[in-house]
């Protein structure tokens, strides 16, 4: 009984480490060379036959660039204390970070900007983001104000964001490939990514999900048909540099830029 209880966390650790290495597409030999340990010892750790020291485990996870939340999980699985804090976004210790997020959102207005976390939960958006949401999904106005919104759920919803995309065949497969890569290290979003894939199969057909669509421009542009006319955007993402808190590490700001003059003029006319 005691042996089972002691080895169970290590079994979880081996799964975490194997998944992280495969997500980076490293062989055991390549990772062992990067960590400057023998391939034999690495294999023993990955199979649960040896327990890594705290220092080795930290170096291991850093080399694989695992998310901080996964690093904490791995430390606990190995029987060590968590390495990173996880303060809620409204915690006083993150006041400066919150102020920076507010400045980024306001500076980008009237163009849409959104704050999302690693699970694609929508945390904040600026005035432009609110207008775009209301334009593409007017039904969302009836949702309770305190109801959490997940962008993956919104994309997989039959009446969600993809309904009005005029170039879904170009954007959808590329976005799905990106999401599947994220899901390798964020198991919590796997089901949501699968739901998005199911919607794409229904809209595009299974054969088109893996077609290498040659983009028409260097930057992938998403186009929406709306009552105001077509809107076209490309996005850039801002993240915190070298965060030491799980909450901050999970955050990113999506800045949506007008891809043509018609979109820019339309949004300026609506919001300025």
Q: Convert the pLDDT of each residue in 31-49 to its tens digit.
A: 999 999 999 999 999 999 9
234, 141: one domain: yes
Q: How many CB atoms lie within 10 A of CB 153?
A: 16
Clarify whether residues 122 and 237 are in a common domain. Answer: yes
Per the structure, the count of domains in the chain is 2
- pLDDT for the residue numbered 3: 37
pTM, rounded to two decimals: 0.81
Please classify residue 257 by burial: count the beta carbons closer than 10 Å to its beta carbon, then call 0-12 exposed, 13-18 middle and 19+ buried.
middle
Q: Which domain holds residue 135?
A: 92-271
The answer to whether the beta carbons of residues 128 and 110 sit under 8 Å apart is yes
Q: Which residues contact 206 (CB under 8 A, 6 or more apart)?
A: none
Same domain, yes or no: 172 and 254? yes
Same domain, 239 and 122: yes
Instruction: Report whether 15 contacts 47 (CB < 8 A).
Output: no
What does the alpha-carbon distance between residue 206 and residue 105 come to, in Å, rounded to a whole number?
Answer: 37
Q: What is the pLDDT of residues 183-226, one digit of tens each?
A: 888 888 999 999 999 999 999 987 766 655 555 556 789 999 99
CATH of the domain at 36: 1.10.260.40
Structure confidence at residue 2 as a pLDDT band (50, 70, 90): very low
One domain for residues 217 and 262: yes
Residues 130 and 264 in one domain: yes
């Amino acid at each position: 009984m005691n042996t089972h209880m002691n080895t169970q966390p290590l079994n979880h650790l081996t799964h975490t480490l194997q998944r992280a290495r495969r997500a980076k597409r490293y062989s055991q030999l390549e990772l062992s060379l990067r960590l400057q340990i023998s391939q034999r010892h690495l294999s023993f750790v990955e199979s649960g036959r040896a327990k890594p020291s705290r220092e080795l485990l930290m170096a291991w996870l850093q080399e694989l660039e695992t998310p901080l939340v996964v690093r904490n999980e791995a430390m606990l699985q190995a029987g060590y204390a968590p390495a990173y804090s996880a303060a809620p976004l409204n915690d006083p210790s993150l006041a400066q970070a919150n102020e920076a997020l507010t400045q980024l959102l306001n500076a980008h207005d009237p163009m849409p900007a959104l704050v999302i976390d690693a699970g694609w939960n929508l945390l904040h958006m600026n005035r432009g983001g609110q207008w775009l949401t209301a334009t593409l999904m007017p039904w969302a106005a009836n949702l309770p104000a305190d109801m959490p919104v997940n962008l993956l759920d919104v994309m997989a919803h039959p009446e969600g964001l993809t309904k009005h995309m005029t170039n879904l065949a170009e954007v959808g497969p590329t976005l799905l490939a990106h999401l599947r890569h994220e899901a390798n290290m964020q198991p919590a979003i796997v089901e949501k990514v699968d739901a998005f894939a199911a919607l794409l199969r229904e809209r595009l057909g299974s054969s088109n999900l893996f077609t290498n669509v040659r983009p028409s421009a260097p930057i992938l542009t998403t186009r929406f048909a709306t009552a105001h006319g077509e809107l076209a955007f490309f996005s850039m993402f801002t993240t915190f540099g070298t965060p030491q808190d799980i909450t901050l590490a999970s955050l990113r700001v999506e800045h949506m830029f007008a891809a043509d003059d018609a979109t820019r003029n339309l949004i300026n006319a609506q919001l300025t």
